[in-house]
Homo-oligomer: A and B are copies of this chain.
Amino acid sequence: MVDEKFERYVHENLNRFAKDVARLASQPSVSARKEGIEECAILVEKMMREVGIQTRVLRGEEGVAPLLYGEMKGSDSNKTILFYNHYDVQPEEPLDLWKSPPFKPEFREGRLYGRGVSDDKGELVSRLKLLESYLKVNGEPPCNVKFCFEGEEEVGSVHLDDYVSQNQELFRADAVFWEWGGVDEEGRPIVGLGVKGMIYLELAVKSLNIDAHSSNAAALPSAPWRLIRLLNLVKDENERVSVPGWYDKVENLTEEDERVLEEEPFDAESFKRHYGAQSFVGGITASQAKKALARRPTANIAGIWAGYTGPGSKTVLPKEIHCKMDFRLVPNQDPEELLGRFKDFLKEKGFGDVAVEVESMEPAARTSFRDPFAQASIKGGESVFGKKSVVRLSEAGTGPLYVFTQRYKIPAVSIGVSPPDNAIHAPNESIRLDLFEKGILWLAETTRTYLSG
């Protein structure tokens, strides 16, 4: 177990740690709008230096968010652990549903509310505070540590792969603490071993050069109707993507993975209740829903807009319509290949004129359940929380995990400091201070177990 002095230091400094989360979350950094990114990068680097981390600001072309690299030598110089986090956040809309302003973090009843306090600024700060605690208690971290803090995660980490491949020496490591994690509703630590991949794109159909009076819909083509016909073809009634070949490379799970997935608890009722869903999509069972979250490739409509969207009525035939879609992928599905198949599908179905703008593409990623770092995280969680760890074969979500796990074969686990009801990507995102504290201990205990293993 992590030593008592360490534990006490974290406990006694918790409020100060949390204030630093609020400090970082006060700086907007909405990558979708390229808002506050540079300012936030400067602040993160400052906070890294305050801990004593040696930093380097890596820069790409004009407009690309800087990547903050950091390192520090530790007592065990044979092992290097890399921390991956991101300092950008999701857009804060819809604004009217926030109880306190998204970029003015507020403490209420043991929680801190604000955009990014969980995803991923709270997690990022927890890593810095882990380091600070090592230094204050032991004078040094237990092994070499590296930091990779990027600013484009929420827009698909479009440059992370380049940054890492152009600086391979810097990013060499034995294990990676992935950006995010926490406990489930029962307080059980969740160890994440993988993520889904994603293709995020925007479709645009344009049928006229100008908006027309809607009476002309009797004779003129309608962009909205055309997109609706198209979308209706993209996914079938069983939630399967209808593009030929979409599932060709999806492999069946190993028996062990099947067992891990089977053992993962899933509180279907509380999940549905949280979102106010009457049932799962397509009427699938709780067990099917759990498996779908880990294993189902999806085709989601994240946004759609055309014509008049104000109050009352306007009789318009919109000249165009736009639709944002995210397709989640599972291991072995190649985003590049599937994008090509999608475009071919559009052509074949007579929609070759539809504009397809790709926002981001990321393959899925997975670390083996048997990997020592994964096992250390599982044991570390059990030791800190006193409950059996939940092993999550794959998040339903996506992250650029493949940059480390698939490209360089570095094992990575996703654990962290966030509560189950964190409302990430939604209004009133929050963390719980008690879990913020325990999460730091979990990172420390996992590291200890890994190094002693």
Contacts and interface: CB of A to CB of B under 8 A. Distances in A.
A215 B275 contact: no
Contacts of A258: none
Interface in A11-48: 31-34
A contact face: mostly helix, strand, loop, or mixed: mixed
A397 B215 contact: yes
Interface string A93-121: 11001000000000000000000000000
A324 B296 contact: no
Contacts of A222: 281, 300-301
A322 B309 contact: yes
Contact of A32 (B304, B313, B427): B313
Contacts of A275: 208-210, 212, 216, 220, 319
A232 interface: yes
Interface stretch (A223-231, A247-255, A401-409): A223-231
B214 A302 contact: yes
Interface size class of A (residues with CB under 8 A): 35 or more
A426 B212 contact: yes
A122 B324 CA distance: 41
Interface of A: 31-34, 90-91, 93-94, 97, 154-156, 196, 198, 200, 207-222, 224-225, 228-229, 231-232, 235, 271, 274-282, 284, 289-290, 292-293, 296, 298-319, 321-322, 324, 326, 328, 359-360, 395-398, 423-427
Given A90-B314, A212-B425, A305-B305, 17 more contacts: A34-B312, A93-B310, A208-B275, A210-B426, A215-B298, A217-B300, A218-B289, A220-B281, A222-B281, A222-B301, A225-B301, A302-B308, A302-B313, A302-B316, A302-B317, A303-B308, A313-B360
